Each structure stands twice: as C-alpha cells, then as structure tokens.
Amino acid sequence: MPLVTDPIAIFALFISFYHISFMFKVLVPNKEGSDWKEFLAPKDEERINEILKKVARHRGAYSRAADSKNAQLWCAALELFGAQEALSERLEEMEGVFESMFQRMRFRDEEKKELQRSLDTF
C-alpha cells in the first residue's frame, strides 16, 4: 500500500477514522454502561458536572419524591433561577453605579457650561 502524503487525504482519513470510532462508542456500549456526558464537548461536560454538584445539595428533597428524576430537574431549574437572580442583582448594582457616574458627569458639564456663559457675559 502506498504511503499517503497529501494533507487533505490524510485529514479525510483521520475524520473517517474518528467518525468510525465515535459511531463504535455510540452503537456498542461498554460493559459498565455508557456515560452520556462523555459524548458532550469537554467544556459542556464540565458545565453539566458543575450543575450536578449544585443540584446534589438538594438530594434530600428529590430523593424522597415519587419521580426523583423529575424532581432533580426542578432542582436544577431552581439552581439556574438562583444564578439568574444573583446576576440580576449584580446588574442592578452596576446600573446604579453607572447612573451615579453619569449624573456627576452631567452636573460637571452643566457647571462648565454655566462657567462658560458667565465668562462670555463678563
């Protein structure tokens, strides 16, 4: 078999091999079962794991539910709502800081205009 030196052909071969290995993982589960998170992008897998750690704080509540999977999803929604609420509070605080800065800037501009008018009339 001749050695392939064309970069496009090598890339196509790599993509084909990667696709086949991915399909093998999907179609043939391993003995201990497949973790669906391993098929996510690495950054997304990290995010999911962070969410699961936060949701685990509610384990006492959702483990007693009749439908624990559904209750766990609601706990995740609760965590996301809490994060959104915290961001909203920070945003409101920043808006207040910016508003006070703009008020001071407008006041200084008005003072400068008033000073200019008084100098013009003098």
In a domain, 69, yes or no: yes
User: Of the candidates 66, 39, 62, which has an alpha carbon nearest to the alpha carbon of residue 52?
Assistant: 62
In a domain, 70, yes or no: yes
In a domain, 63, yes or no: yes
Q: Token pair for residue 85? A: 């609420």
What global pTM score does this model have? 0.54
In a domain, 28, yes or no: no
Averaged over successive runs of 10 residues, the pLDDT of the chain (122 residues) comes to: 62 62 51 71 88 90 89 90 92 94 90 86 78
In a domain, 66, yes or no: yes
- Name every residue whose Cβ is closer than 8 Å to that of residue 13 and which is 6 or more positions away in sequence: 4
pLDDT at res. 90 = 95
- Name every residue whose Cβ is closer than 8 Å to that of residue 54 and which is 6 or more positions away in sequence: 76, 79
What is the H or E stretch that residue 54 is in? helix 42-55
Neighbour tally for 65: CB within 10 Å:
13
pLDDT at res. 27 = 46
pLDDT at res. 16 = 64
Q: Which domain holds residue 108?
A: 36-121
In a domain, 6, yes or no: no
Counting the structural domains of the chain, the total is 1
In a domain, 55, yes or no: yes
